[in-house]
Every structure is written in C-alpha cells, then in structure tokens.
Homo-oligomer: A and B are copies of this chain.
C-alpha cells in the first residue's frame, strides 16, 4: 500500500478511535497535516473503501475503519507507546504485593488493568491439572466427607470437599496424605498414570484405602480441573457509546456472565502468542462481533500458564491496550517465576 494511503488509514483510525464519529476528508486535512487537499483525501478514501479497509455507515457520512482496516492498523500502522513511568510503578506495586494466593494476584492485576484502560478486563488462571503438586493433604470432615487440600505450583491453593463411600479415620487420612505427598510432590496432577498409581497401591498396602485414594483424586480433579476465569469492570463497557443501546449491552453482559463461554473464547484465540489481538468478526461468538480483545499470556519460567487481557469495542485504543496488557503480563510472569524459584530454594 502506498505511503499516503497508509497515512490516511491511520489518521481515520486514530480519529475514529478518539471521537467515535465517522471522520470525513475535511477533518483529516485539517487535523492531520498531510499536505494535500480534502479532495485528494476523498479519492484515496474511496480507494481504501474499495479495498475493504474503510466503510461508510451511510452515504454521505464520513468513513470508519472496517475490521480489515483495524487489522491492518494494528499489524502495521500503530506504534505502541511505552507505559508511562507512574503507571509502571503502580502496576508493579500492585503485583509485587506481599505474597498472596495466585487468584488474588490476578484479581488485583486485572482490576488495575480495568482502571488504567477503562475497558473490561479478564484473565484465565490455570486449573489444578497443570501445576506441579507442592503439597496435598486429606482431612476428615464428617462421616462421609473429606477435605482435599491441594497446593500447586506456584502457590496456588485449592480445596474441595469430596464424598467418600467408606468413612476414613483421622489416622487413615494422615497416612493417606503422607503417601500421596511422597508420590505426587513435584508432579502435575494431570500426569497421574498407571505406573504412578500402581506404585501408590504398593505403598499404601491397603486395597480399600488405595481405591478410596484414587476415587478421591479423581473427584478432586474433576471438580476443579477447569481453568478459572476472572473478570473485572464489566460495566465499563457501558461507557462506550456503541453500547448506548440497551439491547446490545444486555446481550454482551449476558455473554460475559457465562464464564465457560468466555473461557473457550479466550483459549481459542490466543494461547500461543505473546500478545494477541482479536478484532470484531474474528471473535468466535456472536454478540462479541463488535468487540475486540487484546490478550497476553503469562507463565512461569517461560512456560505459559494463563492469560490476561482487556475487552473493548472494536473502536479500541489498541496501542495503549497492547502496551499496558503486555506490561502487566510480563510483570506477572516475572513475579510468578521469582515466587516459584524462592520456593524451590526453600526446599
């Protein structure tokens, strides 16, 4: 694409992102000094429309970027700014809090994301399957229930209550706990295989207990195997003029209430790349067709374990969103990696 067309596409997109109004040739000529007259810009815009980068809401209105236009914009027009220093420290202060649970950290991280971007933000936290087991503990609750407590890398605590067919005495649960600990520590719960299980059986020396243990782990895993979805500032989306229509807003909010849907949307889109931008129609779900997402992955020691991002209208401040989301994700990764290392050293 010729340089001038690029400049114009960029101007249109920037302006529309800022004002939410269709932008005309005169406006561009005035605000962005390209050194050409409105008429020339009009011609170029007609070409851009033909190419599918711009569209007109109605004849004789200004142009707005199409999804394809936004795509081109984020891929090769925008320049991502640095995160300003004050925001850097704000983010880092929030993330490097005195250590808490992973869930809390993520919650706080995305709350900040919401504040800074004014968009809805979301995160996926890894489920229990993924992380290596640090500690596992079985505690009796009442005749028919036990509590399974699981601490996984990197400091992710989960518990669930499991019904057992035969009562377990405190001494038995203690025994069970220690055996399970010996065998599973350092391993991911998803890695349970036959070999491991048979070895477990030998060490337990008690068939019924063994069966219960297997049953227990099975249930525990089923219960909380799912990745957790965090969401913050869902109402922010109502600030956007494109959602001044209640019906639309309702539709979107309803979609956001269904965590499962969000999850599949997020994972479908973006688990492999550092930063992913999903624009309008690229979204799998109807009802999100005029939203965009900017997401980034975070992980421990280079391995991706989760995802944070923001959700806004397609007319989103992509450049800023990218910079902030990326920065948050990077810091999250760094923090988690440190946290994990500290634990290894402590052993």
A interface residues with partner B (beta carbon < 8 Å): 98-101, 134-135, 137, 139, 141-145, 147, 149, 151, 155, 157, 159-161, 163, 233-235, 238-239, 243-246, 249-250, 253-254, 257, 342-343, 345-346
Q: Which residues of B sit under 8 angstroms from A155, Cβ to Cβ?
A: 141-142, 145, 161
Q: Closest Cβ of chain B: how far from A238's Cβ, in Å? A: 5
Q: Across the two chains, which residue of chain B brings its CB closest to A134?
A: B141
Whether A157 pairs with B147 at a CB distance below 8 angstroms is: yes
Q: How far is the CB of A263 from chain B (nearest CB, A)?
A: 18
Q: Please name the residue on chain B nearest to A343 by beta carbon.
A: B142
Number of copies: 2
The reply to whether A246 and B253 contact each other, CB–CB distance below 8 Å, is no
A139-B143 in contact (CB<8A): no
Whether A159 contacts B159 by the Cβ 8 Å rule is yes
Complex Cα distance A257/B233, Å? 8
Q: How far is the CB of A217 from chain B (nearest CB, A)?
A: 17
Distance (whole angstroms) from the CB of A185 to the closest CB of chain B: 13
A100 partner residues in chain B, CB cutoff 8 A: 160-161
10 contacts between A and B (CB under 8 A): A101-B161, A141-B155, A143-B346, A147-B151, A147-B157, A159-B159, A233-B257, A234-B257, A235-B257, A246-B249
Q: Shortest CB–CB separation between residue A241 and chain B, in angstroms? A: 10
B161 touches A157 (CB 8 A): yes
Instruction: Give Cα A254 to B238, complex, Å.
Output: 10
Q: Which residues of B contact A250 (CB under 8 A)?
A: 235, 238-239
Which of B143, B149, B233, B244 contacts A149 (CB under 8 A)?
Answer: B149
| Shortest Cβ distance from residue A236 to the other chain B in the assembled complex, whole angstroms | 9
Q: A304 → chain B, closest Cβ, in Å? A: 23
Known pairs A137-B139, A143-B345 / 8 extra A-B pairs, C-beta < 8 Å? A135-B139, A142-B343, A149-B149, A149-B159, A157-B161, A235-B253, A235-B257, A244-B246
Shortest Cβ distance from residue A189 to the other chain B in the assembled complex, whole angstroms: 18
A233 to B256, CA, bound (A): 11
Interfacial chain B residues near A345, Cβ < 8 Å = 143
Q: Which residues of B contact A160 (CB under 8 A)?
A: 100-101
